[in-house]
Amino acid sequence: DSENPHPVIDMMEEQKKVKNMGGTMRLGSYDCKLVKGTKTYEAYNVEDIAERHRHRFEFNNDYRKDLEDKGLVISGVSPDDFLVEIVELPNHPWAVGCQFHPEFKSRPNRPHPLFKSFLEAIYEYSKN
User: At 120, which CATH number?
Assistant: 3.40.50.880
Mean pLDDT of 39-51: 98
Could you give phi then psi for residue 13, rounded to 5 degrees? -55, -45
pLDDT value, residue 25? 64
Are residues 86 and 102 in contact, defined by beta-carbon separation less than 8 angstroms?
A: no
Q: Is residue 20 included in any domain, yes or no?
A: no
What does the pLDDT read at residue 1?
67
- By the 8 A CB rule, do 53 and 100 touch? yes
Number of domains in the chain: 1
Specify if 83 maps to a domain: yes
| 122 — pLDDT class (breaks 50, 70, 90) | very high
pTM, two decimal places: 0.87
- Structural domain includes residue 76: yes
Residue with the larger pLDDT of the pair 39 and 128: 39
- CA dist 77 and 28 (Å) reads 16
The secondary structure element, H or E, covering residue 123 is: helix 113-126
* 70-105 tens-digit pLDDT: 999 999 999 999 999 999 999 999 999 999 999 999
**78 located within any domain:** yes
Would you say residue 1 lies in a domain?
A: no
Beta bridge mates, 48:
33
Other CB atoms within 10 A of residue 90 CB:
12
In a domain, 19, yes or no: no
Residues 6+ apart with CB under 8 A from 86: 32, 34, 40, 74, 75, 76, 77, 96, 97, 98, 99
> Does some domain include residue 35?
yes
pLDDT (0 to 100) of residue 24: 58
| 13 or 120, which is more confident | 120
Average pLDDT of the segment spanning 48-57: 88
User: Does residue 3 lie within any of the structural domains?
Assistant: no
Local confidence band at 56 (pLDDT 50, 70, 90 cut-offs): confident
Q: Which domain holds residue 77?
A: 9-14+26-126
